[in-house]
Amino acid sequence: MQELGAKRSLRVAYSKSTLEIMVPLPEHEKSKDLISDIVKILLKIAEKSYEPFGSTTFKRENIAGIEPDACFYIQNYQRMISRCKLEPNDPPPDLAIETNVTLKTTLDAYVAIAVPELWIYDSKKLRIYLLRDGHYIESDNSPNFLNIPLTQIIAATVE
């Protein structure tokens, strides 16, 4: 990532000696923006404060690195308000969003970073993953948005 530089259009994921380099396409960017907007609207309706961190790079040295398409601090938002740079003891984002990705490296990297909730939108479907005992389990619901049928709402809106 250092050699690619900070001002790059490439997205990078690294886990278990596997490096993925991706180039976002317009359909990817549109999906990401729509899903991020839905998250912001739902957080505002629920009167939950949040701190968006976009596609910030999260890493564990020599283990994993990931750049979500979008991410949000919700439970930990107060700790991250006005933060311009991540510190070593900062928590991972409470929610990360990925669109159109391969699952293996991505899931492994997110497990290593310990992101509690991960949404992956691919092939007209939203999958919600929750981190439990060091593994992701697929869920029909988000603990951040109880009783909201996110998988239907987001799939219908994006399509």
What is the CATH number for 138? 3.90.1570.10
Question: Considering the entire predicted model, what is its pTM?
Answer: 0.82
| Residue type (1 letter), 10 | L
Tens place of pLDDT for every residue, the chain, 159 residues?
455 555 555 666 655 566 666 655 556 678 889 999 999 999 999 999 999 999 888 988 778 888 899 999 999 999 999 888 898 889 999 999 998 765 555 788 999 999 999 999 988 899 999 999 999 999 999 999 999 999 999 999 988
Note the residue count of the chain.
Answer: 159
Question: Is 132 within the bounds of a domain?
Answer: yes
Q: How many domains does the chain have?
A: 1
Question: Is 50 within the bounds of a domain?
Answer: yes
Q: Which residues sit opposite 118 in a β-bridge?
A: 96, 129
Dig out the tokens for 54 from the structure: 């976009």
Give the three-class secondary structure for 149. coil
Question: Is 4 within the bounds of a domain?
Answer: no
Question: Is 121 within the bounds of a domain?
Answer: yes
Domain that holds residue 85: 11-158
Distance (Å, rounded) from C-alpha 116 to C-alpha 106?
Answer: 14
Determine how many CB atoms are found less than 10 A away from the CB of residue 3: 5
